[in-house]
Amino acid sequence: MPNPFRKHSPRRRDSRRSKNWTIHMPGLSACKNCGANHEPHRVCPQCGFYGGKLIVAAKVKKAKKGPEEGKEGEGK
Protein backbone atom coordinates (compact mmCIF):
# COMPACT_ATOMS: atom_id res chain seq x y z
CA MET A 1 0.00 0.00 0.00
CA PRO A 2 1.51 3.37 -1.00
CA ASN A 3 2.51 5.66 1.77
CA PRO A 4 3.62 9.28 1.77
CA PHE A 5 7.36 9.43 1.31
CA ARG A 6 7.88 12.13 3.90
CA LYS A 7 5.93 13.68 6.69
CA HIS A 8 4.71 17.18 5.87
CA SER A 9 6.34 19.83 7.98
CA PRO A 10 4.21 21.79 10.47
CA ARG A 11 4.78 24.87 8.36
CA ARG A 12 3.36 23.17 5.27
CA ARG A 13 0.45 21.75 7.23
CA ASP A 14 -0.42 25.09 8.84
CA SER A 15 -0.05 26.92 5.56
CA ARG A 16 -2.56 24.56 3.95
CA ARG A 17 -5.02 24.97 6.80
CA SER A 18 -4.73 28.73 6.80
CA LYS A 19 -5.91 28.84 3.18
CA ASN A 20 -9.14 27.11 4.10
CA TRP A 21 -9.93 29.60 6.80
CA THR A 22 -9.45 32.80 4.87
CA ILE A 23 -12.68 34.69 4.35
CA HIS A 24 -13.21 35.78 0.77
CA MET A 25 -14.95 39.05 0.24
CA PRO A 26 -17.28 39.05 -2.75
CA GLY A 27 -16.37 41.54 -5.42
CA LEU A 28 -18.66 44.52 -5.34
CA SER A 29 -19.82 46.59 -8.26
CA ALA A 30 -21.72 49.84 -8.29
CA CYS A 31 -25.37 49.84 -9.36
CA LYS A 32 -25.95 51.79 -12.57
CA ASN A 33 -29.33 52.95 -11.34
CA CYS A 34 -28.76 54.06 -7.76
CA GLY A 35 -24.98 53.72 -7.37
CA ALA A 36 -25.15 51.41 -4.35
CA ASN A 37 -22.64 48.57 -4.01
CA HIS A 38 -23.98 45.11 -4.82
CA GLU A 39 -22.68 41.72 -5.89
CA PRO A 40 -21.98 41.45 -9.63
CA HIS A 41 -24.55 39.51 -11.69
CA ARG A 42 -27.11 40.00 -8.94
CA VAL A 43 -30.16 42.21 -8.65
CA CYS A 44 -29.41 45.35 -6.71
CA PRO A 45 -30.88 44.90 -3.21
CA GLN A 46 -31.42 48.63 -2.84
CA CYS A 47 -33.48 49.47 -5.93
CA GLY A 48 -34.18 46.04 -7.55
CA PHE A 49 -32.64 46.96 -10.89
CA TYR A 50 -30.56 44.61 -13.03
CA GLY A 51 -29.25 45.39 -16.49
CA GLY A 52 -31.03 48.72 -16.52
CA LYS A 53 -34.44 47.13 -15.95
CA LEU A 54 -36.60 46.94 -12.86
CA ILE A 55 -36.63 43.28 -11.83
CA VAL A 56 -37.86 43.32 -8.24
CA ALA A 57 -40.20 46.06 -7.14
CA ALA A 58 -39.14 47.72 -3.91
CA LYS A 59 -41.18 46.74 -0.90
CA VAL A 60 -43.49 49.47 0.32
CA LYS A 61 -44.82 49.32 3.83
CA LYS A 62 -48.60 49.15 3.79
CA ALA A 63 -50.38 51.49 6.16
CA LYS A 64 -52.58 49.74 8.64
CA LYS A 65 -56.15 49.68 7.46
CA GLY A 66 -58.54 51.51 9.72
CA PRO A 67 -62.19 50.49 10.05
CA GLU A 68 -63.26 53.27 7.64
CA GLU A 69 -60.90 52.16 4.86
CA GLY A 70 -62.12 48.60 5.09
CA LYS A 71 -65.74 49.68 4.55
CA GLU A 72 -64.78 51.62 1.43
CA GLY A 73 -63.23 48.54 -0.12
CA GLU A 74 -66.39 46.49 0.46
CA GLY A 75 -68.64 49.01 -1.28
CA LYS A 76 -66.82 48.72 -4.61
Where does this chain bind Zn ion (CB under 5 A)? 31, 33-34, 36, 44, 46-47
CB of 31 to Zn ion, least distance (A): 3
Beta strand segments in the chain, E:
29-30, 37-38, 49-50, 53-54
Nearest Cα to Cα of residue 49 among 67, 31, 69: 31
Q: Partners of 49 in the beta sheet?
A: 54
CB nearer to Zn ion: give 1 or 60: 60
* DSSP reduced 3-state for 11: helix
Least spacing, CB of residue 41 vs Zn ion, in Å: 14
Q: How far is the CB of 26 from Zn ion (least distance, A)?
A: 16
Q: Which is nearer to Zn ion, 1 or 57 (CB)?
A: 57
